[in-house]
């Protein structure tokens, strides 16, 4: 599970979000979201997944129908299941439409490191040129999607899991070495711009920025917590559905969170941003540099979006000379692998959905998802700004699905049932004070940024192309979930009373 | 020492502590279950 949780979210998306949202201003709601939302929602999704598994379900629609049934009649529960299933399906597809490109970028940069392609260039310009080279982008992305389809279709996921046990510790070791190198790198090109300034940017709470951009920063921080922990998308429920009814979920949930947070805050927060700060004079225009370090980092964050790490990290490898070619090659290869394993888990969720819900054979399902990924990934290449707009929406939808997690898997399932399920086979006792956090504080913390930012999404923050993708995926997701629940619980829905009970 | 360094080290320590506690407990529980 930790292999799935550690990925591009830690080393690519996290530094981008920090740079775009005021550095230290972002970290305050980030830690609040981790404690009040990340940990409880992790427990909720493990509990929901294990509960669905008892009925043979690994997907969100039927699972949340069953949980909602504890409080409302089956016909009302159907709608809770349909909406939850719709959100999970559409989110997984939308997220992968650009996540697979990030994996492709990592493959490309692994190659570029080995060949020394970015050595001696302005890494910002190099990245922009790469984005405008459609053939190259298509090649590395296409190879990644084909390899994914083969891995999932041939059922070699288990073999890849064995590789995870070697590659993930290696990624941690490489990242720790990188952090050490960054600490001693100092000011490589300008004495006024050092890596330590980057740490200061991350760890100095910027209260005025936070109060000026409260809802936006809150949504970004909350979305990042869910993105990085693979929450709010049905993946954790799918994984937990394979657990036995007496397997621990409470302690395993905490362990997953802590391992990921080590990779994100301690390692991910200490690499790209300090490097971007030290090399900012090379990338950022002089008039922006003159405004200060926060402005310079925000400029890189907004100009290159999720390319933030790909513009800053290569500079470290260049500074290592020829050894940097090998180091860069291995670093981006490990990053590619980390992203690839996370993508397998999401791919498996979609295939399981087609297999379990719609009775589509696994091999056929694999190629159906492959085609969906190809179609949905094309606008990322050809429409400027599409990726970052969709990524902003993903933060919104992750938060929305987490709210549904609480409404369905806690409130409708009934809080006492949830609490009992959480402690079933648990290797730890969850402190009692977490109950009011889950029941009252978490829903408020989820609802506030959703309400505060909704207007910005409908009034132009994202364009017509991402909206089209979102709405089409909503419709397909809703139809799929409705059909899946109706097919398995048709008799219950007809009589409007609970019949199937484990 | 800047206050931001204390903030950073405190956050890092809290994450280390949570990781050490949860992984340690998970491993000992798995060991106990196996024996």
Concatenated DSSP letters of A164-214:
HHHHHHHHHHHHHHHHHHHHHH--SS-TT--HHHHHHHHHS--HHHHHHTH
* Chain B (1-35) residues lying within 8 Å, Cβ to Cβ, of chain A: 2, 4-5, 7-8, 11-12, 15-16, 18-19, 22-23, 25-26, 29
In a domain, A500, yes or no: no
Contact A262/B16, CB-based, under 8 Å?
Answer: yes
pTM for this model (two decimals):
0.95
In a domain, A501, yes or no: no
Chain A partners within 8 Å of B26 (Cβ): 251-252, 255, 427
A456-485 burial, b if ≥16 CB within 10 A, otherwise e?
A: ebeeeebeebbeebbeebbeebbebbbebb
Contact B11/A258, CB-based, under 8 Å?
Answer: no
What pLDDT shows up at residue A157?
64
Residues A420, A402, A240: CA angle, nearest 5 degrees: 50
Query: Measured between CA atoms, how close is B35 to chain A, in angstroms?
Result: 16
The dihedral formed by the CA atoms of A145, A146, A152 and A154, expressed in degrees to the nearest 10: 180
Residue of A nearest to B30 (CA): A427
What pLDDT shows up at residue A116?
97
Is pLDDT above 80 for B13?
Answer: yes
A316, A185 in Cβ contact below 8 A? yes
What pLDDT shows up at residue B35?
63
Domains: count for chain A: 1
Q: What is the ipTM of this complex?
A: 0.95
Task: Enumerate residue ranges in chain A where pLDDT < 50.
Answer: none
Band (B1; pLDDT cuts 50, 70, 90)? low
Chain B partners within 8 Å of A429 (Cβ): none
Which of A204, A255, A270 is the best mutation test for B, with the most CBs of B within 10 A?
A255
Range of the domain at A360: 2-495
Contact B15/A266, CB-based, under 8 Å?
Answer: yes
What pLDDT shows up at residue A1?
57
Angle A362-382/A322-352 helices, nearest 10 degrees? 130
In a domain, A10, yes or no: yes
Sign of CA dihedral A292, A298, A302, A305: positive
Size of interface A-B (CB pairs under 8 A): 53
Contact A252/B26, CB-based, under 8 Å?
Answer: yes
Q: Render pLDDT for A363-376 as a digit per residue (tens, 0 to 9).
A: 999 999 999 999 99
In a domain, A482, yes or no: yes
A88, A233 in Cβ contact below 8 A? yes
In a domain, A87, yes or no: yes
What pLDDT shows up at residue A3?
56
Residue of B4, B23, B26 with shortest CB distance to A203: B4
Residue of B8, B11, B22 with shortest CB distance to A254: B22
CATH code for the domain in which residue A32 is found: 1.20.1740
In a domain, A65, yes or no: yes
Residue of B nearest to A426 (CA): B29
In a domain, A418, yes or no: yes
Q: Render pLDDT for A425-460 as a digit per residue (tens, 0 to 9).
A: 999 999 999 999 999 999 999 999 999 999 999 998
Count of all residues that appear for chain A in the document: 502
Residue of A nearest to B32 (CA): A427
What pLDDT shows up at residue A4?
58
In a domain, A110, yes or no: yes
What is the Cα–Cα distance from A14 to A227, expressed in whole angstroms? 9
Residue of B2, B15, B26 with shortest CB distance to A251: B26
What pLDDT shows up at residue A62?
96
């Amino acid at each position: 599970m930790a292999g799935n949780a550690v990925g591009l979210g830690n080393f690519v998306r996290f530094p981008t979000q920090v740079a775009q949202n005021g550095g230290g201003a972002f970290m305050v709601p980030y830690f609040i979201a981790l404690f009040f939302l990340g940990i409880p929602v992790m427990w909720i999704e493990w509990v929901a997944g294990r509960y669905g598994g008892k009925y043979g379900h690994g997907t969100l629609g039927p699972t949340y129908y069953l949980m909602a049934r504890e409080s409302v009649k089956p016909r009302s529960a159907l709608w809770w299941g349909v909406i939850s299933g719709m959100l999970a399906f559409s989110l997984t597809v939308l997220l992968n439409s650009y996540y697979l490109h990030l994996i492709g970028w990592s493959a490309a940069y692994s190659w570029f490191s080995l060949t020394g392609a970015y050595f001696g260039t302005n890494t910002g310009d190099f990245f922009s040129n790469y984005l405008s080279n459609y053939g190259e982008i298509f090649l590395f992305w296409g190879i990644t999607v084909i390899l994914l389809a083969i891995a999932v279709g041939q059922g070699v996921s288990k073999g890849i899991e064995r590789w995870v046990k070697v590659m993930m510790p290696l990624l941690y070791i490489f990242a720790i070495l990188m952090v050490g190198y960054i600490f001693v790198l100092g000011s490589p090109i300008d004495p006024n711009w050092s890596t330590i300034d980057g740490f200061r940017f991350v760890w100095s709470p910027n209260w005025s920025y936070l109060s000026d951009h409260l809802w936006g920063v809150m949504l970004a921080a909350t979305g990042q917590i869910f993105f990085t922990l693979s929450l709010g998308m049905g993946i954790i429920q799918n994984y937990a559905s394979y657990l036995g009814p007496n397997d621990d979920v409470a302690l395993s949930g905490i362990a997953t969170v802590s391992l990921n947070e080590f990779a994100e805050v301690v390692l991910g927060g200490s690499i790209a941003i300090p490097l971007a700060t030290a090399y900012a004079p090379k990338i950022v225009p002089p008039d922006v540099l003159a405004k200060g370090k926060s402005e310079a980092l925000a400029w890189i964050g907004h100009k290159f979006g999720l390319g933030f790490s790909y513009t800053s990290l290569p500079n470290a490898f260049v500074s290592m000379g020829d050894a940097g070619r090998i180091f860069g090659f291995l670093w981006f290869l490990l990053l590619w692998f980390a992203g690839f394993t996370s993508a397998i888990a999401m791919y498996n969720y979609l295939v399981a959905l087609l297999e379990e819900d719609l009775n589509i054979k696994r091999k056929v399902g694999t190629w159906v998802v492959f085609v969906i990924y190809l179609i949905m990934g094309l606008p990322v290449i050809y429409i400027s700004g599409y990726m970052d707009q969709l990524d902003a929406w993903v933060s919104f939808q992750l938060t929305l699905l987490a709210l549904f997690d609480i409404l369905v898997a806690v409130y409708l399932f009934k809080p006492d049932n949830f609490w009992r399920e959480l402690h079933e086979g648990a290797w730890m006792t969850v402190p009692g004070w977490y109950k009011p956090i889950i029941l009252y504080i978490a829903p408020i913390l989820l609802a506030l940024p959703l309400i505060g930012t909704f207007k910005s999404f409908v009034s132009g923050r994202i364009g017509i192309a991402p909206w089209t993708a979102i709405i089409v995926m909503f419709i397909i997701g809703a139809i799929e979930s409705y059909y899946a629940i109706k097919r398995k619980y048709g008799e219950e829905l007809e009589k409007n009373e609970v019949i199937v009970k484990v | 020492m800047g206050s931001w360094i204390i903030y950073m080290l405190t956050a890092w320590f809290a994450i280390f502590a949570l990781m050490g506690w949860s992984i340690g407990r998970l491993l000992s529980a798995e060991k106990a279950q196996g024996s």
